[in-house]
Amino acid sequence: MLYVTGHRTDYDSWEAAGNTGWGYEHLSSYFDKIENKLNLNNYNFNTHPFYNLFEQAYKEAGVLPIDKLSNEAIIGTKINKLLIRNGKRLNTAKIFINESINLRIMKNAVVRKVIIDAESKITVGVEVQVASGKIMQINVRKEVILSAGSIGTPQILMLSGIGPTKHLEEKKIIPIIDLPVGQNLQDHIFFPIYLTIKETLSIPQEAFTFFVMQYILTRTGPLSTIGVTDFMSFINTRDKSIPNIQFHHMYIPKNDKLVLKIYMNKTGYKDKVIEAVAKINKDFELIGLYPTLLHPKSKGEVLLADNNPTSKPVIKSNYFRDLDDLKQLIEGVRFVFYVTEYKYL
């Protein structure tokens, strides 16, 4: 639910790599359209008692606040704009799809492959399987826009015959175009760190019940937003002008029963670590600081398990294959200790 655009050098590097029209100057006009559509230029920022606490801690570490109205990921701290309206998450359907006059959506359907003419190498349609099991071919007059995410897109391309020839032949798929599809998987790995705090926001159970009722009846109050997660900071651990680490923040109330264990489990912590943190949380409120790697160098890959479109693909993340990724993340962790004045060895 956070609205943040990348650093302008991110987009310029895309264009420099040969992707004409993907530089910042060209894309910024689209950002303007999105922001006008979402009415982000008239945004009312939230208030939270921990904003000042975080901001002051980063100031003391040399990271200064930046213009709230800026949406760009530049070095500094800021409260981000949220994609929330009337207490609910905004999404593409609510903003854009409802207004479309030339769009049809097929639910409960799986794209099996893109159909490509073997001789011309031109896309002529897509093959789709619906919930009943029926397989149908949908032909196109102009083009197919494939937008299935960083995992689904290479999977569909390879099922269609576009990918590494050797891998496709191993999966008994006839290669049409030999390309290194699925060979450039990169992920912004992060490392959640939980710290006890002296400040307190302990809320009596009666007040929490009131907040629930307030949200149900009016879609307002503390439960209509995302706490301190809209406070964000960007740093560079190597004295450059482009950030290499992004920090997310989270607040965990004392003796939390709803979020902490589930979240730690989903982010990969082992049970003994989760239980140790939960034990501390019984007596203390916690804040989470998550150093996140912005420009990973390690590359993983997406492979096909077989030629069945409903099979899950094989994902090899290869985190930290390039040791500089590990070094940068450790630098981000050390910065957490510096910001919070935590004494570490």
Which residue ranges form the domains of the chain, and what is each CATH number?
A: 47-89+190-295 (3.30.560.10), 95-184+300-316 (3.50.50.60)
Give me the phi and psi of 76, to 5 degrees please. 140, -175
Q: pLDDT above 70 covers what percent of the chain? A: 97
One-letter amino acid at 56 equals Q
- Over residues 177-187, the pLDDT tens digits come to 999 999 999 99
Sign of CA dihedral 47, 48, 53, 57: negative
- Over residues 209-254, the pLDDT tens digits come to 888 899 999 998 888 888 899 999 999 999 878 999 999 999 888 8
Instruction: Give the three-state DSSP class for 263.
Output: helix
For the chain, the C-alpha Rg in angstroms (whole number) is 24
Instruction: Give the three-state DSSP class for 178.
Output: strand
Q: What is the mean pLDDT of the chain?
A: 91
Spatial CB neighbours of 172, under 8 Å, sequence gap ≥ 6: 307
Higher pLDDT, 199 or 122: 122
- Give the bridge partners for 89, in sequence order: 84
Residues in the chain: 345
Give me the phi and psi of 115, to 5 degrees please. -90, 125
In whole angstroms, give the CA distance from residue 244 to residue 235: 6
Which of 243, 241, 280 minimizes the C-alpha distance to 264?
A: 280
Tokens of 343: 């004494």
Region 140-161: mean pLDDT is: 95
- Over residues 59-87, the pLDDT tens digits come to 999 999 999 889 999 999 999 999 988 88
Q: pTM to 2 decimals? A: 0.88
